[in-house]
């Protein structure tokens, strides 16, 4: 026997239809009714996710709220081979560039997390090789060697003065002085290949000097004659180096700081090389 009931409102703590017990507790909006394992009908929050009406092939979806059930389109694409395409890329605190640089560019950071493609710095040493190839007679303490010939030059950071009148005064232009541009590190090197003492007991002491600040840049080199004989004799091959990092444009010189029986410098070579 079966019965059909038509009701406008039915109020009951438990309503059973056949073997199915109807739910009697409200959960939340948009829940659906399903049958549990015991045959009871329950209100159930569906697991499906709501999204846009259409999508783009390989497009990566993102959640648009905190429910975990609503997604939206994004501009990120991942194809079947794993290639990722995005308008911008941020990894941790590093923001990667989104436009290409010049050929050979390198990735550099501004120290605040922004990466850019910049041309690879080109390091080109500036250098000048100078020579004294005529006799510098009767040098005395305080004089510097008159390097008056440029054998080789490269770059614009080092210059050798070969035209200004010679002066041993500090902080003035003079033949034989190198000018080093501010903000770099330089190696200064000189070799005395031929000089003359009046006696074998003679000696000469040389140092690289900051001509502007009148301060020594190197330890002194002392070249001594050979004792026990008399008469003038040529000597050579005294070698001296110095290093300087400039904070302003600086003139430097190879200075005589002590001398005994020194007759002349005949042939000397020097170079100033910027390497940092």
Residue 189 half-sphere exposure toward CB, CA atoms < 13 A: 9
pLDDT for 9: 58
- Taken as a whole, the chain contains a residue count of 276
* Residue 55: predicted pLDDT: 84
Q: Which domains does the chain have, with CATH numbers?
A: 1-46 (no CATH), 62-118 (no CATH), 127-274 (2.60.120.40)
Residue 190: predicted pLDDT? 95
pLDDT at site 236: 56
Angle at 197 between CA 136 and CA 160, to 5 degrees: 30
Q: 10-residue block means of pLDDT along the chain (276 residues)?
A: 57 67 71 74 73 86 84 89 89 91 87 87 79 92 96 94 96 97 94 86 92 95 72 68 95 96 92 89
Q: Which residue in 253, 243, 239 sits closest to 208, CA to CA?
A: 253
Task: Give residue 232's pLDDT.
Answer: 62
Report CA Rg, the chain: 44
The rounded distance, in Å, linking the Cα atoms of 125 and 115 is: 28
- Rounded CA-CA distance 144/22 in Å is 111
Residue in the structure block whose two tokens are 């444009």: 249
C-alpha span between 39 and 37 (Å, rounded): 6
Dist. CA 132–CA 145, nearest whole Å: 8
C-alpha–C-alpha distance, residues 273 and 252, integer Å: 12
pTM: 0.58
DSSP secondary-structure letter at 239? E
Could you give the CA distance from residue 263 to residue 72 in angstroms, rounded to a whole number? 92
């Amino acid at each position: 026997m079966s019965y059909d009931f038509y009701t406008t409102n039915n109020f009951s703590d438990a309503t059973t239809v056949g073997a199915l017990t109807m739910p009697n507790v409200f959960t939340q909006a948009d829940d659906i009714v399903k049958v549990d394992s015991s045959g009871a009908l329950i209100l159930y929050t569906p697991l499906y996710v709501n999204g846009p009406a259409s999508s783009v092939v390989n497009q990566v979806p993102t959640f648009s709220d905190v429910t975990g059930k609503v997604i939206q389109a994004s501009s990120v694409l991942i194809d079947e081979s794993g290639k990722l395409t995005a308008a911008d890329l941020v990894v941790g605190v590093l923001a990667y560039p989104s436009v290409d640089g010049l050929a050979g560019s390198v990735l550099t950071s501004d120290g605040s997390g922004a990466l850019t493609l910049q041309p690879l710095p080109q390091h080109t040493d500036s250098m000048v090789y100078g020579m004294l190839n005529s006799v510098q007679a009767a040098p005395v303490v305080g004089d510097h060697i008159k390097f008056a010939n440029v054998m080789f030059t490269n770059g614009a950071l080092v210059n050798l003065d070969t035209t200004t009148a010679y002066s041993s005064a500090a902080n003035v232009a003079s033949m034989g002085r190198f000018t080093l541009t501010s903000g770099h590190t330089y190696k200064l090197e000189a070799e005395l290949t031929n000089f003359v003492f009046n006696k074998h007991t003679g000696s000469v002491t040389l140092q690289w000097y900051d001509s502007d600040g009148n301060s020594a840049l190197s330890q002194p080199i002392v070249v001594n004659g050979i004792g026990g004989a008399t008469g003038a004799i040529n000597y050579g091959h005294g070698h001296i180096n110095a290093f300087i990092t400039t904070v302003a444009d600086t003139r430097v010189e190879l200075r005589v700081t002590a001398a005994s029986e020194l007759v002349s410098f005949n042939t000397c070579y020097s170079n100033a090389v910027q390497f940092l």
